[in-house]
Amino acid sequence: MLSEPKLKVLQDLIAGSSKEELLWINGYFNGVVANHQPSANGTAQASAVVTNKITIVYGTETGNSKALATQFAAKAKKSGINAKVFGSDQYRLTDLVKEEYFLVLMSTHGDGEAPDAAKKFYDHIVAGGFTLEKMKYSVLALGDTSYPLFCNVGENIDIEFDKMGAKRLVPIQKCDVEYEADATQWFDKVIQSLTQKTASAPTAAPVANGHAAPVSAKKVGKLAFTGNVLTNIDLNDRGSNKETYHIEIAAEGLEYQCGDSIGIVPENDSQLVTDIIAKTNIDGNKSLEYKKEKFTIYELLKRKINLIYLTERLVKQYADVTGHEIPVGRYDLLELVQKYPVKVPSQFEEILVGLNAISPRLYTLASSPKAHEGEVHIIVAKDVYTDSNGQQRKGLCSNYLSGLKVNGKQNFFIQPNKRFRLPADDKDIIMVGPGTGIAAFRSFLAERDATGATGRSWLFFGEQHFASDFLYQTEMQNWNETGVLTKINVAFSRDQKEKIYVQHRMLEHGESLYEWITGGASFYICGKKDPMSVDVENALLHIIEQYGKKTIEEAKKYLEQMKEEGRYEKDVY
Amino acid sequence: MAEKKLTAIEGIKVASDGLRGTIKESLLDEITGAIREDDKALIKFHGMYEQDDRDRREERAAKKLDRLYSFMIRLRLPGGLISAEKWIACNNIANENSTGVIKITTRETIQLHGLYKSKIKPTIQAFNTAHLDSIATCGDVNRNVTCASNPALSTVHEEVFAYADKISNLLMPKTKAYYQIWVDNEMLIDKKEEEDPLYQKHYLPRKFKIGIAIPPNNDSDVFINDIGLVAIVEKDKLIGFNIAIGGGLSATHGNAETYARLATVIGFTDTEEKTLRTIYEILTVQRDFGNRTDRKLARLKYTVDKLGVDKFKEEVEARIGFKLAPAKPFEFTERKDIYGWKKSNKGLWYYTVFVENGRVLDDEQVALKTALLEVAKLNKCNFMFTATQNIIISDVADKNKAAIEEVLRKFKIIEHTEGASLLRKNAIACVALPTCPLALAEAQRYMPEMISKMEPLLEKHKIADQELIVRMTGCPNGCGRSAASEIGFIGTHPGRYNLHIGGDNEGLRLNTKYKESLNEAELLAEMDSLFGLYNKERNKGETFGDFTIRKQLVK
């Protein structure tokens, strides 16, 4: 049925895709077919095309850029353009000078840093020393305006390419945490510039905010599940500063691997929903269309729309619709309807449909498919923080999960993380997982326990207090006793005058740790990116430097080598 | 006996390398708050027990948390004397490392509860800096030596009191393990200095308690000790001590071989040298003849009864090389703390503060802990702990009395002390739940409530003016000396107690089980009827304990 080039594109795509990606593509095409206006002139589009080849390189930490890249590639193909998609760590840097149409989707993290997997790519560009005369490019920069160096990495790439002689297809687009609309618009412009079409193609599959791929895949029914909540317990003892929930969910047909994440779309607090309905006099039972699906307004408020900490853009929209003057800032919807009431319910309906969907949150799974058959386990710390107005706030999803009722139903999806995998059974592993970072390693240890793996295991765990915060203490004790966990060192920061963290424990055991590493052990970090993963990496470098009798440069090279061998993996957030 | 197997603890002691065992390694086990099994027996000799909060076991298990292990540490304070400066140190250490409550024990010392493993070393090091230690306050050694407390009650108190310290030093284990493990890891030890002719490698078969009393007040409950010394005073001069052996209250429910026993007076010694030597050799006889195959039958009282008092005495006399003189007559007329201000013949003042169950803390009723800290900060007194778990603000000069009294008034300590009923002030309860591993029922957490329910009964029967001695223990091991009371509640199950009566007021006659395993309502009903009977039928001046015996309510 397909022409030769199309067939080749499809075959290339299939050959280069993982099982999960294929499942996604399947779901995606379902969406495309469902929404597709049959075009009588499928080839007409192609004839207007300036080029039929583009390269998309993404640099991602949380998977957002990757999801966009995949989504755009599919969209490009619809316009007759073959897009090659690369993760920036898989991209051959020497190919850069040959590129003609080149798109970069790049996230910025923390203090203006490139994602781990994009560091090499970024350093190569910044180091320069080559020209890009053939290249026409555009950059989509993802970031978070709450950081000072917002979209810094994307911006620098844009500037460097320009310096090297490349031409901009369309100007750089910087996106905040809710990037969906901006990103789609940017890509539409890119397609326009490539096809010289005036009207932008309609968006194919409905794209959920944040994690397009898995949400779409839900339609396939393979990676999306409805489970039954078996357990929900606060692992911290009385007197702790923390609340960390261990949740077990059983579901039919589960399929995942250790290292994968679970995606959950949290629901809004019922009281909050009731309050908003009461304040606006809106009919909760009335049906409303939101993103092409119909919901009752109650459903919409409860399960679909983010009501918390609306962005400045949405607040402005609210002000425009209601005619109130609202000082610039971020507000909860309840706060807005209380202080700046809507005049009639219909006005509120207009506002509702313009609000963002609740984005799914990802949590590294704490269970092993072999040890906890038919179950997924999550560990989640209830997030309580102070916003810029000094108000105490609860993280939406962690708060939602903490309140999950046993025997209740819960939807979720599995987000694979292919980079974070156990090595062969006979290989040693070193795991650094303070706080909820323990999740991945509870999964690893349970798996190794179930499979009887012969490789040694060494865990570094840390929290605030030994007595109240030692997550999974009895399990770790058992694994330590049975030898599944060969060594374990713990750091409780607030049990003594001076703060002690996992990296201090690593340094104390540096010599032994170096022996493990040179003996082929894989090193994993899971947990907070900042400052934990940075401190741990520095400690590791220091150990390699000291016990390997290397310069710091050599130590860094050694760590690079470990990364290339897949022996240094991080799952940090 | 030789046929039977030695208890496991005997093996642990002998193999412990001077009570070291693997304590250092235990401290390094990062993932448990507990210490290794064998070390649990050894740290007792260093003044600690491992405990866990039994109330929290189930909940923590659900949270995948191990038991909440913590440690109790008990100081060595012969006679229970401490300077104001040391009290402040204890107050601060308690705040920093333990539950914050300072518990005065029935052995006239103080103990802190709830120390996590990581806090033991900092605690002992801080104690060491304050010149305090916890050596030999638990374990199969001589424990804290108790002594008649209130110096205002006797002209020879100072002289007698000095014996507590002398005995404690004489019977200290020679091992330096305590300092090496807890204070200074790098410390070099000359093993020759550790040779211990008294305890050798296997120490005593069981704990060993020594107490001293000065008649006529038996406030230190002298006959409940393995060795009791009764000071004999003639014409205001100390002429020596009657020596009593084989006291001890612990028993086990359902084990007929075990029993509470008061010490038997075996003779009199007139010089310090003779007294100390006799004490020392009583320990060596117990060391050599005591039962090491059954810890329930290992206390001195069983050795004495096994050999017979005379035989035991002969063995001691053979070792000391002289005959004990016949015991001198003495009389005890009371057994209680004398609350409020008292002046000694040396012109110093003593204020006995009522401390319910010996627990020093700030609660809704009274800020006792803060008050005592404020008193200590004046630096114008010492502190003494009594066997009834109270505090005596001691050695106050005339000129300083007003300043101290001002603090006591400010914090309503005087009101608190004067306001408590006689019943409450004479009562004792042991620690029991949730931390004591032996407890079968509540004691110190429940006793205040029980007293409150008994008070109306005493009022009703018009006997609230009686110095009735009521004691409660969570098990029959007797830390709260329930067997030596006029009314004893001995825990059998949660919420249930054996009711013992018939003990005398002075501590010379043990009580006997009257009713078994009663709940609160049953206990109160029994007491209601007993008190009614006592009020109607007592002789003039007859104590409740004596009345119940005369009436043959128990045998």
Of B258, B265, B263, B338, the residue nearest B298 (C-alpha): B258
Q: Which of B28, B29, B30, B59 best probes binding to A when mutated, by most A CB atoms within 10 angstroms? A: B30
Respond yes or no: is residue B430 known to be catalytic.
Answer: yes
CA–centroid distance for B311 within its chain: 29
pLDDT at A29: 54
Selecting among B147, B176, B436, B481, the annotated active-site residue is B436
Residues 6 or more apart from A152 whose CB is under 8 A from it? Answer: A108, A112, A143
Given a cut of 50, whether residue A45 has pLDDT beyond it is no
Q: Which stretch of A17-21, A103-107, B83-87, B319-323 has the lowest confidence by average pLDDT?
A: A17-21
**Per-residue pLDDT tens digits for A244-258:** 999 999 999 999 999
What's the N-to-C CA distance of chain B in angstroms? 33
**pLDDT value at B278 more than 50:** yes
> Is the per-residue pLDDT at A50 higher than 80?
no
Q: Give the chain A residue whose CA is nearest to the CA of B58.
A: A237
Strands (E), B399-511: 428-429, 470-473, 487-493, 496-501
pLDDT at A198 over 60: no
Residue of B nearest to A461 (CA): B31
> Residue A36 pLDDT more than 80?
no
Contact B65 A473 (CB under 8 A): yes
Do the Cβ atoms of A108 and A154 come closer than 8 Å?
yes
B64/A473 CB distance under 8 A = yes
Active-site residue, B207 included: yes
On whether the CB atoms of residues B507 and B529 are closer than 8 A, the answer is no
Whether B479 is catalytic is yes
Average pLDDT over residues B335-356: 96
Residue A1 has pLDDT above 60, yes or no: no
Inform me whether the pLDDT recorded for B391 exceeds 70.
yes
Residue-averaged pLDDT of chain B = 96
Let me know: does B201 contact B485? Beta carbons within 8 Å: no
Residue corresponding to tokens 């963290």: A501
Token readout for A484 is 């599944």
Q: What is residue A49's predicted lDDT score, i.e. its pLDDT?
A: 55
Residue B138 annotated in active site: no
pLDDT attached to residue A84: 79
Q: Is A489 on the interface with B (CB under 8 A)?
A: yes
For residue B155 the two structure tokens come to 């002209």
**Minimum Cα–Cα distance from A505: chain B residue:** B30
**Residue B64 contacts A where some CB pair is shorter than 8 Å:** yes
Any idea what the Cα angle at residue B13 is, between residues B8 and B14, rounded to 5°?
Answer: 100
* φ and ψ of B207, to 5 deg: -60, 160
Distances (CA, A) of A421 to A240, A258, B27, B174: 32, 6, 35, 57
Cβ contact A474–B30 (<8 Å): no
Query: How far is residue A404's CA from residue A381's CA, in Å, rounded to a whole number?
Result: 14
Residues B281-328 have pLDDT tens digits of 999 999 999 999 999 999 999 999 999 999 999 999 999 999 999 999
Contact B64 A475 (CB under 8 A): yes
A40 pLDDT higher than 70: no
- Is the confidence at residue A69, as pLDDT, over 90? no
pLDDT for A191: 87
Q: How many CB atoms lie under 10 A from the CB of residue A151?
A: 25
How near does any CA of chain B get to the CA of A467, in Å? 7
Inform me whether the pLDDT recorded for A81 exceeds 90: no
Eight-class DSSP state of B76: -
pLDDT on residue A24: 56
Residue A125 has pLDDT above 60, yes or no: yes
Burial class (CB in 10 A: 0-12, 13-18, 19+), A273: buried
> Cis (ω within 30 of 0) for the bond into B434?
yes
Is residue A533 scored above 80 in pLDDT?
A: yes
Interval A435-453 mean pLDDT: 96
> What is the pLDDT of chain A when averaged over all its residues?
85
Instruction: Flag if A495 and B32 touch (Cβ within 8 Å).
Output: no
Q: Which of residues 26-65 of A touch B (CB under 8 A)?
A: none
pLDDT band at residue A7 using 50, 70 and 90 as cut-offs: low
Size (chain B), residues: 555
Give the other-Cβ count within 10 Å of B64's Cβ: 18
- Whether the per-residue pLDDT at A206 is higher than 70: the answer is no
Tell me the residues of chain A between 445 and 464 that have a Cβ less than 8 Å away from chain B. none
Q: Burial level of B9, CB count in 10 A (0-12/13-18/19+)?
A: buried
Query: Which residue of the set B209, B274, B336, B359 is catalytic?
Result: B209
- Least Cα distance to A555 among A569, A568, A538, A535 occurs for A538
Asked if the peptide bond before residue A345 counts as cis, ω within 30 degrees of 0, the response is no
Is residue B54 within 8 angstroms of chain A, CB to CB?
Answer: no
B81 has a pLDDT exceeding 90:
yes
Q: Tell me if A466 and B118 make a contact (CB, 8 A cut-off).
A: yes
- One-letter amino acid at A389 equals N
pLDDT tier at A88, thresholds 50, 70, 90: confident
pLDDT at A146: 62
Whether residue A31 has pLDDT greater than 80: no
Beta bridge partners of A490: A461
Compare A37 and B552 and report the one with higher pLDDT.
B552
The verdict on a CB contact (< 8 Å) between B63 and A496 is no
- CA angle A104/A110/A115 to nearest 5° reads 40
Of residues B13, B74, B176, B313, which has the active-site annotation? B74
Q: What is the pLDDT of residue B555?
A: 81
Distance between CA atoms of residues A197 and A80, nearest Å: 12
Q: What is the per-residue DSSP string for A221-277?
A: TSSEEEEEEEEEEE-SPTT-S--EEEEEEE-TT----TT-EEEE-----HHHHHHHH
What integer pLDDT is reported at residue B516 of this predicted model? 96
A22: which 2 tokens?
């294929």
B538 is catalytic: no
CA–CA distance, B282 with B284 (Å, rounded to integer): 5
The kind and range of the H/E element at A420 are none
Residue (of B527, B513, B518) closest to B555 by Cα position:
B513
Catalytic, B277? Answer no
Burial of residue A390 (number of CB atoms within 10 Å: 0-12, 13-18, 19+): exposed
The secondary structure element, H or E, covering residue A57 is strand A53-59
> Chain B residues with CB inside 8 Å of A379's CB?
none
Place of tokens 């004067």: B418
Answer whether A507's CB lies under 8 Å from A491's CB.
no
For B535, the token pair is 């009020």
pLDDT tens, residue by residue, B502-516: 999 999 999 999 999
Does the structure show a pLDDT above 50 at B219? yes
User: Is residue B97 over pLDDT 80?
Assistant: yes
Cα torsion B535, B540, B544, B548: sign: negative
Q: For the residues B62-74, what does the mean pLDDT come to? A: 95
Q: How much is the pLDDT for A380?
A: 97
Length of chain A counted residue by residue: 573
Q: Which residues of B touch A480 (CB under 8 A)?
A: 31
pLDDT given at position A229: 96
Report the range of poorest mean pLDDT among A172-181, A239-248, A484-493. A172-181
Pairing, β B210-213 against β B227-234 = parallel
Chain B contact present for A358, CB below 8 A = no
Neighbour tally for B93: CB within 10 Å: 24
**pLDDT score for A145:** 72
pLDDT at A201 over 70: no
Q: For residues B178 and B271, is the Cβ–Cβ distance under 8 A?
A: no
Label residue A547 exposed, middle or buried (CB < 10 Å: 0-12, 13-18, 19+). middle
CA dist B205 and B201 (Å) reads 11
Contacts of B498 (CB under 8 A, 6+ apart): B488, B489, B490, B492, B513, B515, B516, B517, B518
